[in-house]
């Protein structure tokens, strides 16, 4: 299978100078694409000198936008996405591809605790992993890892869903699980990044990760959110009714409001679930590209 390796890069000339020669040494026939996300240093020049195809943008559009642009331009049947800052060892691409050949559609390089930027980032990612595992119903070892190999035809099905920011791994992981595409995780060590400081802002981008999780949950597993919410409203209504009946012997407007909210939220979940089912039915009936 033809391989395309995509590296989104913003001011990563130092990391690329170290990473690209190792990629070319290990994968001499692979297509290497560096998406220059509005860099102000010599990222593009370093990439070209090392034989990579460079896609540039006049200003920064975000990590996810770079990933989408690289995926559209890639000609390989298998896409490998990795960071340009030297954290990922190109040698581990072999482990990802080996798992992909065993029948998976996407393989993710899962970092251990030592691969997290700091303790707070590690705790946040552990929480995201647990939350995403609950939403999808599958164990997710590393929701936000940017090092992954994926079948190009499957990945492009979800390009319209991917955000332009750093939370693209969140979206694509959950979309694959919900679509029934098998996903595997391969443990990998992560090196200290080189060059400029990380572009991720933990608080702001952490909120974005959560928003993307809930966005995908409502799109693919609506009842995972709507049903518990309806139950909470119902229990609040029942509790308030019990209290007011005991104290005043009557049924109040607040209890009626909470019971009504419970029913409305539950019905919204059912409707959303039906819409999701119809969406996937249409997707299955549409002609698909034959696998090679």
58/121 same-domain check: yes
Alpha-helical (H) ranges within the chain are 13-26, 43-49, 63-73, 93-101, 119-136, 152-156, 168-178, 202-220, 223-248, 253-285
* Listed residues 169, 189, 219: the one ending a domain: 219
**Do residues 252 and 125 share a domain?**
no
CB 221 within 8 A of CB 138: no
pLDDT of amino acid 200:
52
| Domain CATH code at residue 81 | 3.90.550.10
Structural domain that includes position 254? 223-285
The answer to whether residues 171 and 280 belong to one domain is no
Q: Does residue 291 surpass a pLDDT of 60?
A: no
- 231 and 276 in a single domain? The answer is yes
Q: Judge if 270 and 161 occupy the same domain.
A: no
For position 152, what pLDDT does the model report?
96
**Contact (Cβ atoms closer than 8 angstroms) between residue 266 and residue 238:** no
State how far the Cα of 146 lies from the Cα of 66, in Å rounded to an integer.
12
Decide which of 200, 219, 238 is a domain's last residue.
219
pLDDT by residue (tens digit) across 47-92? 999 999 999 988 999 999 999 999 999 999 999 999 998 888 999 9
What whole-number percentage of the chain has pLDDT above 70? 85
Is 114 part of any domain?
yes
Segment 263-279, tens digit of pLDDT = 999 999 999 888 877 76
What pLDDT shows up at residue 69? 95
Same domain, 96 and 125: yes
pLDDT band at 227 (very low <50, low <70, confident <90, very high): very high
Q: Domain for residue 291, yes or no?
A: no
Residues 259 and 166 in one domain: no
- Total of domains in the chain: 2
Regarding whether 266 and 200 lie in a shared domain, the answer is no
pLDDT at 196: 54
Q: Are residues 194 and 247 in the same domain?
A: no
Pairing status of strand 53-57 against strand 148-151 = unpaired
SS3 171: helix
Q: What is the mean pLDDT of residues 14-22?
A: 93
Return the SS3 of 64: helix
Q: Are residues 88 and 212 in the same domain?
A: yes
Higher-confidence residue of 208 and 152: namely 152
Q: What residues contact residue 180 under an 8 Å CB cut-off, 6+ apart?
A: none
């Amino acid at each position: 299978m033809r391989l395309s390796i995509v590296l989104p890069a913003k001011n990563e000339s130092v990391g690329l100078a170290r990473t690209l020669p190792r990629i070319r040494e290990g994968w001499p026939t692979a297509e290497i694409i560096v998406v220059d996300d509005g860099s102000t240093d010599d990222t593009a020049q370093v990439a070209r000198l090392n034989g990579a195809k460079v896609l540039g943008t006049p200003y920064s559009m975000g990590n996810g936008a770079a990933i989408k642009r690289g995926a559209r331009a890639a000609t390989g049947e298998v896409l490998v996405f990795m960071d340009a800052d030297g954290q990922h060892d190109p040698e581990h691409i072999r482990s990802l591809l080996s798992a992909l050949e065993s029948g998976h559609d996407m393989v993710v390089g899962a970092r251990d605790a030592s691969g997290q930027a700091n303790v707070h980032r590690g705790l946040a990612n552990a929480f995201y992993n647990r939350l995403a595992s609950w939403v999808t119903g599958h164990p997710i070892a590393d929701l936000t890892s940017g090092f992954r190999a994926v079948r190009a035809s499957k990945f492009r099905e979800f390009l319209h869903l991917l955000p332009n920011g750093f939370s693209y791994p969140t979206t694509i992981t959950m979309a694959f699980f919900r679509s029934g595409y098998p996903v595997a995780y391969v443990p990998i060590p992560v090196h200290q990044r080189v060059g400029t400081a990380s572009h991720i802002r933990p608080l702001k981008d952490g909120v974005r990760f959560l928003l993307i999780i809930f966005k995908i949950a409502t799109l693919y597993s609506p009842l995972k959110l709507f049903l518990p919410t309806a139950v909470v409203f119902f229990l609040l209504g029942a509790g308030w009714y019990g209290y007011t009946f005991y104290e005043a012997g009557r049924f109040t407007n607040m209890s009626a409001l909470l019971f009504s909210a419970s029913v409305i939220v539950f019905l919204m979940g059912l409707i959303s679930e039906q819409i999701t089912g119809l969406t996937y039915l249409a997707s299955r009936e549409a002609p698909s590209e034959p696998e090679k």
